[in-house]
Structure 1
């Protein structure tokens, strides 16, 4: 069998596709898998790292602004949609997939549109409580819409079929215990580790907060921190710390541009500080990790806060507003929780209770079934 995956823009869209592709490769060792991504975007780097081929198409996003620049950008985007749909159609005809699967990002639209017009089985997965524009537009065209959260089941009134599946998580997230992961990272098992990650691209405001947080940690090294700044923020952040005379390594901080070994680092962490994208939350619940969530204020329909409140109501997360956050208060709250193992254990149990560990296998089963039925 042959499958095409399309996803892009952020790791939150890419990782679910990688989880599904990896599992399909295990279930069907002779299957062929191809990815289609947006030219120059993150997927063009991350997908080959996992051993999959990816081909680019030229596609741009829609701007929500109303300036002349935004209007000009959107006119170009509409032109790119037409051109990229032709590109996708050519790739699909040559590859002849049994099914085409999208997991989010604007690159999904031309690819799934082209596949649908060629009468190839199509599926799209939406992780978030509030569907994105691309998923809403595709819901009328694809054979199956799969959702990660029950709250979004009713968001697709014109879809042919909608199924609650949970969000797929890569198998690598089951490869580590906390102690084994800490050992590989060179940390003693009793040293608390805090992971700080603010989306795969980073976030300017949160890097400012975490820069001050690192400065305030001081040399007591009562816990260790791994902070992912994001590619465009890493240089400015480390430059600011150096200019302020802060030796972040001496303070127990490891500052990175991107965390390529996320399953290992997340497994090692005792507490995680992050955004509330649905893919990340699925990984956190899968691993039962206590978390402080700071939803991004820059997302459509405030969907990250809606995602975060689901975990907060269950008792697994503390939700903090970005505009109200200050480094000293965050550091105090982190230390307070690290000093209360019972509180962290309770949060961990609450997170684990929300996990859908069978999501990856369930979705792979749906993909294979739809492909078989179409070919029967």
Structure 2
């Protein structure tokens, strides 16, 4: 038997790249001598992130369709044809045993060509509202691994397996306590802590909200661990003090989660899966600027199970302080939200996805 070869594609954002890398790592753990190849979009972040994780990647000349008429849209047919031809060549040369797609434009041409060459395909959909590429590929996939109930709205029911989303292993094994974590960030172990997460680049609207509410948090005797993102750090670092820690990026997420009493966050699929595992009360402020408004759908899925609070960006000025106080003033509410979100955690997601991939090895 020759060594197994796995081809993976997903990218454009960390939400597609991280799951692909996690799946590759688990496959590598089970098959140490297997060969891996990633395929991404030439100018996107996967071209940097995947090699950092120790894997080879090839880039396709592909991008999404813009929602308005632009020069980029006129180029789309040429990019698509170029990417399909390049993807066919890559599949022919690499001869994968299984192809795995985690969403994003580049996975379209790759999985299309893998399937037409007789390679079994597995899709992994992170969101509660399926992305365009995965919806187009669903008919060609053997299995579709999802994180939410009700996904038969988008995919053939017999192909769906609910596995959850891959989560960073350091969070699954996290053991840090409140005292150790507050000390690490230079916070007061006796005060309640608000953790603010806007993603690695930052979220402008959340940052504006936190800036406006700093006085309100101070009146409540709270301290703030504020991850404002690298795009905004220069603008907000002036607020750094004993009770407010302003960070571009959090390297020790396990400690940040351990320090938090309440969390304010975007509702990207990866964040939601992590926060389920953490089991703390969360106020989600979904980004309205994402495809199919999927962050709002992700947050709603938790709100429906009494597992989180959601505020739209348009409601923040009017509703934030009351919603926040309702959570902070009631230990009962915080416990209920923490307990219910924890019930939705799927810590073994990566292993379950790889179990499905293994069934296709022949």
Coarse TM-score class (shorter-chain normalised) = 0.7 to 0.9
Q: Residue 173 of structure 2 corresponds to which residue in structure 1?
A: 175
- Distance of aligned partners of 1:260 and 1:142 in 2 relative to their CA distance in 1, 3 Å threshold: farther
Query: How many residues align structurally?
Result: 357
**Equivalent of 2:19 in 16, 29, 51:** 16
Rounded Cα–Cα distance in structure 2 between residues aligned with 1:58 and 1:228: 32
Q: Aligned in 2, Cα 1:348/1:178: closer, same or farther, shift over 3 Å?
A: farther
- Verify the 8 A CA contact 2:202 2:227 in the aligned structure 1: no
Secondary structure of the corresponding residue to residue 314 of structure 1: coil
Q: CA deviation at 1:285?
A: 0.9
Shift of the 104–182 alpha-carbon distance from structure 1 to 2, 3 Å rule, reads farther
Structure 1 residues 357, 87: closer, same or farther in 2, change over 3 A?
same
After superposition, what is the alpha-carbon deviation per residue over 1:61-87, rounded to whole angstroms, capped at 9, x for unaligned? 11122x3x2xx3222122112212222
- Secondary structure of 2:67's aligned partner: coil
CA 1:286–1:217: 2 relative to 1, 3 Å: closer
Gaps of 5+ in 2: none
Where 1:140 maps in the other structure, the secondary structure is helix
Matched, 1:29 2:32: yes
Output aligned runs, 1:95-174, within 5 Å: 95-157=94-156, 161-174=159-172
Partners of 1:126 and 1:147 within 8 A in 2 = yes
Q: Does 1:271 align with 2:269?
A: no
Could you tell me how far apart the structure 1 residues matched to 2:41 and 2:181 are?
Answer: 33
- Paired position in structure 2 for 1:305: 296
CA–CA distance in structure 2, aligned partners of residues 275 and 107 of structure 1: 25
Secondary structure of the 1:150 match is coil
Q: CA deviation at 1:322?
A: 0.6
Q: Which ranges of structure 1 fall in alignment gaps of 5 or more residues?
A: none
Matching residue of 1:234: 232
* Whole-angstrom CA distance in 2 between matches of 1:11 and 1:214: 29
Tell me the SS of whatever aligns to 1:195. strand
Rounded to whole Å, the distance in 1 between the matches of 2:6 and 2:184 is 35
Quick check: 1:10–1:200 contact (8 Å CA) kept in 2? no
- Give the structure 1 partner of residue 55 of structure 2: 52
Q: Structure 1 length normalisation: TM-score?
A: 0.84
Match of 1:286 among 260, 269, 277: 277
Mark the CA change 1:204 to 1:254 in structure 2 (over 3 Å): closer, same or farther: closer
Aligned to 1:213: 213
The C-alpha deviation readout for 1:214-236, integer Å capped at 9, x for no partner, is 4765599732312232x4x325x
List per-residue Cα deviations over 1:96-132 (Å, max 9, x = no partner): 3221111111121111112112221211111222211
Residue 86 of structure 2 corresponds to 87
Q: 1:96 and 1:191 mapped to 2: Cα distance?
A: 57
TM (norm. structure 2) is 0.87
Contact 1:106 1:134 in 2 (8 A): yes
CA distance in 2, matches of 1:85, 1:366: 26
Q: Deviations over 1:163-196 (max 9, x none)?
A: 2222222222123234154454454544433322
Write out aligned runs for 1:186-225 (5 A): 186-187=186-187, 189-214=189-214, 217=217, 222-225=222-225
Task: Check conservation: 1:104, 1:134, Cα contact below 8 A.
Answer: yes
Q: Partners in 1 of 2:175 and 2:119 — Cα distance? A: 41
Q: Retained in 1: the 8 A contact 2:198–2:265? A: yes
Which residue does the alignment assign to 1:343?
Answer: 333
SS where residue 21 of structure 1 aligns?
helix
Relative distance call for 1:167 and 1:333 in structure 2 (3 A) is same
Correspondence 1:317 to 2:308: yes
Q: Which moved more, 1:120-129 or 1:196-205?
A: 196-205
